[in-house]
């Protein structure tokens, strides 16, 4: 694979500061965190629970706003965007994969993948959802609802949903945390393989050392800052 650093920057997070109010006073969570990710690059974000990994991910997605610092995704600075603008950017350029899948229980696998495409105004939503379910090996399960699928199958649906809109960036928060080792390895291989094939950047939060080792780089949270791991 070509050196990811030679490719365009997809995520630029510089000097992020985020403080929350606590019972005993302000609680600093991010204290100047930086994170740069290039197209097709997989970065594992590691560190102990409570070290700020999820807050950093939320700021990178525009779901939370830093008190200071700058975030740009695919060349778009998030600061000038209002809530609707950030939502539009997420709908088209950022995909999410979560530990708890976050599928709609009353929708089929195909409908779960199709819904964000329809909300983004894609006229080819149905066909695209079908193609992505085929790519993750669930073409024959497209009409099943989440309760009819195994945990690994549900996460495969989540992977298809995240990648189907053609995002520039995937933010994955413990994507194998609810799965057994064998199933988690298969899902991780699928996610990273598809992302790299389509040159989608991935920021992967994980406590799994084997999964982190599959990344191009490891970045650790330490004292609210990011350091090479």
Query: pLDDT by residue (tens digit) across 158-214?
Result: 999 999 999 999 999 999 888 889 999 998 999 999 999 999 999 999 999 999 999
Q: pLDDT digits over 106-117, tens only?
A: 999 999 999 999
Task: List C-alpha distances in Å: 161 to 4, 43, 57, 113, 179.
Answer: 25, 21, 19, 4, 18
Helices 109-119 & 125-135 angle (0-180, nearest 10):
130
**How many residues can be counted in the chain?**
229
- 3 state SS of 226: strand
How many whole angstroms separate alpha carbon 7 and alpha carbon 38?
6
Least confident of 5-9, 12-16, 146-150, 170-174: 5-9
Extents of the domains making up the chain? 4-228
| Element (DSSP H or E) covering residue 1 | none
C-alpha to C-alpha distance for 98 and 189, rounded to whole angstroms? 16
CATH superfamily of 4-228: P-loop containing nucleotide triphosphate hydrolases (3.40.50.300)
pLDDT for 168: 95
pLDDT at 7: 85
pLDDT at residue number 74: 94
Please tell me the distance from the alpha carbon of residue 37 to that of residue 69, in angstroms, as a whole number.
Answer: 16
Alpha-carbon distance of 80 to 147, in angstroms, equals 41
d(CA 130, CA 124): 10
The bridge status of strand 76-77 relative to strand 225-228 is: unpaired
In angstroms, the Cα distances linking 10 to 59, 114, 219 are 15, 25, 16
Kindly tell me if the per-residue pLDDT of 2 is higher than 70: no
Helices (H), the chain: 53-61, 83-93, 109-119, 125-135, 151-163, 181-197, 209-212
Q: Which of 138, 124, 123, 61 lies closest to 95, judged by CA?
A: 61
Is residue 45 within 8 Å of 221, Cβ to Cβ?
yes
Mean pLDDT (whole number) for 14-32: 94
| pLDDT tens-digit map of 128-146 | 999 999 999 999 999 999 9
Report how far Cα 126 is from the mean position of its chain's Cα atoms: 23
Residues forming a β-bridge with 43: 203, 217
- For CA atoms 149, 198, 131, 113, the dihedral sign is positive
């Amino acid at each position: 694979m070509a050196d990811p650093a030679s490719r365009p920057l997809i995520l630029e997070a510089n000097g992020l500061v985020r403080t929350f109010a606590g019972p005993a006073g302000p609680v600093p969570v991010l204290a100047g965190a930086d994170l740069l990710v290039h197209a097709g690059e997989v970065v594992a974000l590691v560190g102990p629970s409570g070290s700020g990994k999820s807050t950093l991910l939320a700021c990178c997605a525009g779901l939370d706003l830093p008190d200071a610092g700058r975030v740009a995704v695919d060349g778009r600075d998030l600061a000038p965007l209002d809530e609707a603008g950030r939502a539009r950017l997420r709908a088209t350029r950022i995909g999410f994969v979560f530990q708890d899948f976050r599928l709609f229980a009353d929708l089929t696998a195909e409908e779960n993948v199709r819904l964000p495409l329809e909300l983004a105004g894609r006229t080819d939503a149905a066909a695209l959802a079908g193609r992505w379910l085929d790519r993750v090996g669930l073409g024959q399960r497209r009409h099943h609802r989440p309760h009819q699928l195994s945990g690994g199958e549900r996460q495969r649906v989540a992977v298809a949903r995240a990648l189907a809109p053609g995002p520039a960036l995937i933010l994955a928060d413990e994507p194998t945390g609810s799965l057994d080792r064998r199933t988690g390895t298969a899902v991780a291989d699928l996610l990273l393989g598809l992302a790299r094939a389509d040159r989608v950047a991935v920021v992967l939060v994980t406590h799994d050392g084997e999964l982190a080792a599959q990344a191009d780089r490891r970045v650790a949270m330490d004292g609210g800052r990011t350091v090479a791991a």
